[in-house]
Each structure stands twice: as structure tokens, then as C-alpha cells.
Amino acid sequence: MTTNELARFSLNQMTVKQLSLPDLVDACTELGVRNAGLWREPVRRYGVEAAARLVRDAGLNVTTLCRGGFLTATDPARRAAALDDNRAAVDEAAALGTDTLVLVCGGLPDGSKDLHGARERIADALAVLGPYAAERGVRLAVEPLHPMFAADRCVVSTLAQALDLAERFPAEQVGVTVDTYHIWWDDQAPEQIARAGAGGRIAAFQLADWITPLPAGVLNGRGQIGDGAIDMRQWKKRVEAAGYTGPIEVEVFNEELWARDGKQVVAETARRFLDHVM
Amino acid sequence: MTTNELARFSLNQMTVKQLSLPDLVDACTELGVRNAGLWREPVRRYGVEAAARLVRDAGLNVTTLCRGGFLTATDPARRAAALDDNRAAVDEAAALGTDTLVLVCGGLPDGSKDLHGARERIADALAVLGPYAAERGVRLAVEPLHPMFAADRCVVSTLAQALDLAERFPAEQVGVTVDTYHIWWDDQAPEQIARAGAGGRIAAFQLADWITPLPAGVLNGRGQIGDGAIDMRQWKKRVEAAGYTGPIEVEVFNEELWARDGKQVVAETARRFLDHVM
């Protein structure tokens, strides 16, 4: 594997959450990986400024920060707190030098059955956060999550819904995240990728494979690239045909990967990327 | 609860799979429940003719037989076996006196990543099975399953996809099953219900609620009516507005319900139906 072959590969930090931030940076440097997607919690534990220095000194490009969002609360105090937290996330993204903040928009409030209302509250929040982010050189990337998360994690379940939200705002403020794990089942997703590309809305492209059986809670059962049902190369072609030529993040939440040696997992993930994506 | 109040309520056998068929029939009779959806496996264990006699003597109306399907194999021998099995399912439905055979269409064959091809093989099978069923007074009811089942159980994930398949055939041969559990997250489902109704395609209407966290394997984590995120009354209104006035089956796969006294669960389910649906 060469740096040139891996030019578009980005390693999302969650794929190897067992690694400390310095170890992640070292592993990327050793393998010639030049891009990484980072997560707020480990970055904050390490210190945002220190993390920014670490990746900058290593010449590592931060492709996204994951994640803001959780914008569906009805309680005014909770809504205000969520907006504050998302402003902080924008500031952190700017400090890290990434132009993309991925948003997981939030599920239904306890006891609510109103999906439409929850989606509208996300739009209200984007109206506040979009300008704040754009002023700091950061774009919000609304991520549709698989419909199995609609109740408890993200009421935005399809790329069409994500675009319906994003298109209410300027493209430099709000884009979308295309993640194969969440959209692979959707026969409308190819045309929605074209729509997203035509509007300049593809802010991030992430990969994970679909494997079964799903574990309890379904969050940490994503598959390593090539292990599952998703035709990665075909999705990459669709996203490229829509005009996207940016980094491609591999973001796998998987207990088995997390139990292994992190640096080995980084190497395996880069290898899988070359074998199944490029 | 009166028989009149429960006129549209149908108890799907899987909700109380701990009950023998005679106990299920007794429980329905005692409570004034006049409709039930049956499953092939317990019916076959009891004997199809004996089961038909049992429900007929009790005056119980069989609203659906679950299930045929699993039509996505590529291997010729497996395809032939699946067609044979579905013809048998049609015969069983006819013997039980129901006009509706629910189809769970099948997932991806091992190692395949071709969702489109799998959906086309379903269409090929419907072309064979539709006339066979209609000649016996039975309609095939293609059920879209939640997208979390797309790989391993059913590549038909939305009502739109189910209708795209069904509409290739006469309405008396192939309809669709509308199940709240599978479609509640889909903002396009309301207009697809209207489409289904306009075409006379709503062959069955089933209810289960969405609760989290999902259990491992995600199959048996459905919620009792009223326990989850789904606005049952609103979905009922949509289906009625589309012209459907038939039975409404409650079909809950839930380990906790199965561990309880089955007759109590029948009574609770009927009560929940009146409180949350009618």
C-alpha cells in the first residue's frame, strides 16, 4: 500500500476506538494514511488544541468531526443546551481544521410518536446553526441513519429526507453525509445521490458493510469492508458520478474489531479499502 | 369488550404462539374475537384439515395465512422447491378458508450483493404463483419488511417497492400487506397507502408497535400495541382513507409476551386494540 493508492482513504477514529489519539496518528503515519475522521469525545479527552496540534504536526488531514446533532428535544432548556453543544462542536471542528461537522439529528423525545414534528425541529435548529457554522468555515452534514434508528437516534432515515432538510438552506451551510451502511437497502438512494451531487450537497462519504445477525441494541454490528452485503465499488461509482471526488471514510462500529490490536485493524481496513473500494 | 367492538380485530397467531391451536380458538371464542391470522407451521403440526374444521366449527374467520415467500434463491433446485412450497401454502390457505397468503419474499442468497436481481427473481416467481393462487381464491400479499431485514429476510423494504412488484400483476392475484412495524418510519408510506388503496391492493393490514432497544437478531423485539413509538390510530385512518375496511391483525413477535399466560395476552391485546386503534 502506498500513500498515493490511499490518497482518498480516510480512517474514521471510531473504527479503532481502542487506539489513543497519538497511537491512531502513528498508525496512520506508518501506513501512509493521510486522512482521518475524528470524534468529539476522544478529542475533548485529549484536549482540542492539543489534538489539533498533533494531527497538524503529523500532516494528517481531518476529513470530518463526528458528531453534532440531537436536535429534536421539545423542552426549551434542552433545546437551548443542544444548540450550545452544537456551537461548541462547530468551534471544535474549526480548531481541528476540518470543514465538515457530521450531524446525527436525534430520535423521538420520550413518549412522542410525532416523527414529522421532530424533523421540523431539526430544520429550526439548522436555521440557527447553519450560519454559525458557515461563518467559521464549517459545513453541517446531515446524516440519514438506517430506519432501525428512527425512534431512538435519528428521525432522518433516508437520503431524500436529509436532502429535503438540507435544501432549505444554502449549500455552504448544510450538506449531507452519504454512508453506505445506512442507505444500501434503499432503491431510491442512487437517484438521491445524483440529486445531492447536483446541488453540491455531498459533504461526506462514509463506508461500513452490512452484516447479520445484528447484535442487541444494533449499534455495534457494522461489518468490516468486504464482509457483508454491500457492493462498495458500485456505491463509490454512484457518488463519483454525482461529482464527489473527496475523501472516503471507513467508519465501522464493531465489537470484534475493537477487541483486536488497533494498529492491525488500521492496516486491515486500508487493505480492504484498496481491495473492495478502489 | 363486545364482539361488536372487536368486529375488525384479528389476532395473529404469532402474538400468542405459546397457545395450542385449540386454546387459541377457545380464547378467541371466550373474548368474542371473531378473526384470526394463522401460521403455516402450527397449522401443519395440528393438521391442515383438522385446523380448518376447528376454526370453521368455532365460527372463527381466518384473515390471513402467514406465510409463503422466500423466492430469491438463484439455484434452480432451490427455486423449484420454493415454488412447490408456495403452491402448498396456497392450498393450505384455501383449505383454511382465507383469501390471503402473506409473502415474506426472502433475503439475499449467501454471498450475493445484488438487491435488484433478488427483487427481479421475486417478480419471476409471482408470475408463476399469482395465477395458481387466484384460481384457488387466494391472493398473494407481498409484505415489505423493515429495511433492517433487507439482507437476510426480505429484499422488499418499502411499500413503494412492494407495489412496484404487485402492480405488474392483476390486483386479484397480487396485493400488499401493510404492517405498521415495517413502514412507520417511512414518510412516503402515507402516499403509498393511498396508491395501494386506489389500486385495490391492500390485502392485509397488520399492527405491531416499535420499541427499543432491539434484541439480538432483531426479530422478536416488536412492541405490544401502545407500548412504542407508532401512532396506530393515524395509520388506521390512512388505511381507511384509502378504502380499506377489512380486518386489522395484531401480530407481535415478543419474547416477553410469549413467556406469559397466553389467554391473558389475548385479552390484553384485544383491550389494547380498543384503546389505541379504534
Indicate yes or no: CB of A152 within 8 angstroms of CB of B213: yes
Does A28 fall in a domain? yes
Q: Is residue A186 part of a domain?
A: yes
Query: For residue B82, what is its C-alpha cell?
Result: 420454493
In this structure, what C-alpha cell is assigned to residue A92?
A: 471544535
Question: Could you say which residues of chain B have pLDDT below 70?
Answer: none
* ipTM, two decimals: 0.96
Which of B186, B188, B166, B185 has its CA nearest to residue B177?
B166
Q: Rounded mean pLDDT of A271-277?
A: 98
Judge whether A154 lies within some domain.
yes
The helix (run of H) or strand (run of E) holding residue A67 is: strand A61-69
Average pLDDT over residues A153-177: 98
Please report, for the domain that includes residue B259, its CATH number.
3.20.20.150
Confidence of residue A216 (pLDDT cuts 50, 70, 90): very high
Interface contact flag, A229 B148, Cβ < 8 Å:
no
- Nearest residue to A204 via CA among A82, A18, A38: A38
A146 touches chain B (CB under 8 A): yes
Ramachandran category for residue B110: left, alpha or beta (phi over 0 → left; psi -120 to 50 → alpha): beta
Quick one: three-class SS letters along A220-233?
CEEECCCCCCCCHH
* Nearest-by-Cβ selection for B229 from A113, A161, A231: A113
Q: What is the mean pLDDT of residues A218-223?
A: 96
Contacts with A33 (C-beta within 8 Å, 6 or more apart), sequence order: A3, A6, A9, A10, A11, A27, A60, A266, A270
A150/chain B closest Cα distance in angstroms: 6
Which grid coordinates are listed for B120?
427481479
Task: Kindly indicate the confidence band of residue A3, based on its pLDDT and cuts at 50, 70 and 90.
Answer: confident
Question: Above 90 in pLDDT, residue A219?
Answer: yes
Q: Which distant-in-sequence residues (6+ apart) come within 8 Å of A94 by Cβ?
A: A136, A137, A138
CB contact under 8 A, A216 and B212: no
Kindly list the residues from chain B whose CB atom is less than 8 angstroms away from the CB atom of residue A108: 229
Domain coverage including residue B232? 9-276
Q: Per residue in A95-109, pLDDT tens?
A: 999 999 999 999 999
- Neighbour-count burial for B13-41, b at 16+ CB within 10 Å, e otherwise: bbbbeebebeebbebbeebebbbbbbbbe
User: How confident is the model at residue B3, as a pLDDT?
Assistant: 83
User: Cβ of A151 and B187 within 8 Å?
Assistant: no
Per DSSP, the three-state class of A8 is coil
Residue A15 lies in a domain: yes
The model's pLDDT over A236-262, given as tens digits with 9 standing for 90+, comes to 999 999 999 999 999 999 999 999 999
Contact criterion met (CB below 8 Å) for A196 and A240: no
Question: Contact B231/A114, CB-based, under 8 Å?
Answer: yes
Mean pLDDT value of segment A186-211: 98
Q: Which three cell numbers stand for residue A209?
A: 458493510
Closest-CA distance, B151 to chain A, in angstroms, reads 7
Provide the pLDDT for residue A278: 93
Sequence length of chain A is 278
Q: Decide if A67 is inside a domain.
A: yes
User: A131 lies in a domain?
Assistant: yes
Q: Is the peptide bond before B213 cis (omega within 30 degrees of 0)?
A: yes
Q: What total number of domains does chain B contain?
A: 1
Residue A2 pLDDT more than 90?
A: no
The answer to whether the Cβ–Cβ distance between A147 and B215 falls below 8 Å is no
Q: For the purposes of burial, counting CB atoms within 10 Å of the CB of B164, is it exposed (0-12), middle (13-18) or buried (19 or more)?
A: middle
Contact with chain A for residue B191, Cβ under 8 A:
no
Q: Which residue type, as a one-letter code, is found at position B184?
A: W
Q: Residue A156: inside a domain, yes or no?
A: yes
In a domain, B3, yes or no: no
Average pLDDT, chain A: 98
Helix (H, G, I), strand (E, B) or coil at A269: helix
In chain B, the residue whose alpha carbon lies closest to the alpha carbon of A229 is B113
Q: How far apart are CA A255 and CA A18, in angstroms?
A: 10
